[in-house]
Chain A
Amino acid sequence: MKSVRQAVLILLAALVPAGVTAIVHPRRPPWSEETLAPGEEKLRTVLSWGSVVLWVDARSQREYEAEHVPGSLLLNLEAWDRLFPRFLDQWSPGRKIVVYCSSRSCEMSHEIAARLEQNGISPVYVLKGGWEEWKAAK
């Protein structure tokens, strides 16, 4: 029992300087660091670009009709032949495009972004966190 008490005391003694370092050290590591996959961009950054962004919603038509980023265009692989010409009507060379799908884990936005880039359309970004991130921020 005594050894347990000693271990707890040592732990507490170590926690005090560690806590102070975590709070005041100028080169302390961040508590959490957002990592971006290639082609991804954070919502905060995208919002800072303003109205030049052409938003692309890569979710299903049903999800898009329920709610979407204002001004966004629906474009998914399922109805590509029907939706891509509509996208082209709104697109202009050099305009920033931001693609999102439903959640952090969905891959559709990356696939749509890749297909746009294969067609010479750039720059294209994927919104990190997708629709869930947008909803949480609103």
Chain B
Amino acid sequence: MRTPVFILFFSLFACSTYGQLVFDQPEQSFKARPEQEMIVAKYRFTNAGKELVKIENVQTSCGCTTAGLKKTEYAPGESGEIEAKFSFGGRIGKQEKAIRVTTAQAREQPTILRLLVDIEDPIQIQPELVFWRVGERPNTKKIQITVAGNSSVKILSVASDNPSIKAQLSEVKPGKEYEIEITPTDVSQPAGATFLIRTDYPTQNPRTRYAYARVK
């Protein structure tokens, strides 16, 4: 007899923390390729309470994500769905978006839904940073660019925003491997440079990548 009482107690507690809405998967993860451009996640929920729940606000953490639902009021036991659309807009790598759901019954305890998307990036820049200590010899250091999988990417150019730290691009294996040689002309004082690496990938919306140099 005690077990059902415990289960009931904890169920009630769990429901109250979510403002009576219980989500099946409040955190969802996806893998994607840049060509996909967007991803849609559906967060299914149920009103596990005994009263009508009114969803007052569904707010996303980024302008790149929209979230919508068909109606705002849900009777006890009724289920619904929040649909979130995340447009990549040239983003790559791991992305984390949050969707904040506020109900009239628990305004101070909004539910945070999470959307984790790993947008595959075939271009690997290693390292992204080369650095020298002030006063050390200004040896040339190398940055490798490799293209993973079946993709073929052309590195169009590399430009340094600091003329005293020079960058020289060379092609090791067309479409797959490149090398940038970085040489500072003066390491007697702190300095920094950002290298703009122009690529032809993704084809429809080519992205500029970055690498950095510092004299510290």
Contacts and interface: CB of A to CB of B under 8 A. Distances in A.
B194 interface: yes
A121 interface: yes
B126 interface: yes
B31 interface: no
B194 A120 contact: no
B216 A93 contact: yes
B129 interface: yes
A43 interface: no
A3 interface: no
A77 interface: yes
From A85, A88, A108, name the one whose CB has the most chain B CB atoms within 10 angstroms.
A88
Contacts of B216: 91-93
Contacts of B192: 85, 88-89
A51 interface: no
B15 to A, nearest CB: 21
B207 to A, nearest CB: 9
Contacts of B126: 118
Nearest to B214: A88
A78 interface: yes
B169 interface: no
Interface string A18-42: 0000000000000000000000000
Contacts of A118: 126-128
Contacts, number: 48
Nearest to B212: A88
Contacts of A119: 127-129
Contact of A60 (B91, B94, B96, B128): B96
B178 interface: no
Nearest to A92: B216
A76 B62 CA distance: 14
Contacts of B194: 85
Interface in A67-99: 76-78, 80-81, 84-85, 88-89, 91-93
A62 B212 CA distance: 26
Given A93-B133, A119-B127, A120-B129, A81 B210 contact: yes
B212 A78 contact: no
Which are the 9 A-B pairs with shortest beta-carbon distances?
A119-B129, A77-B94, A119-B127, A62-B61, A92-B216, A119-B128, A81-B210, A78-B95, A77-B93
Interface of A: 60, 62, 76-78, 80-81, 84-85, 88-89, 91-93, 108, 111, 118-121
Given A78-B95, A78-B96, A91-B216, 13 more contacts: A60-B61, A77-B94, A77-B96, A78-B94, A81-B210, A85-B194, A85-B210, A88-B129, A88-B192, A88-B212, A111-B94, A120-B127, A121-B129
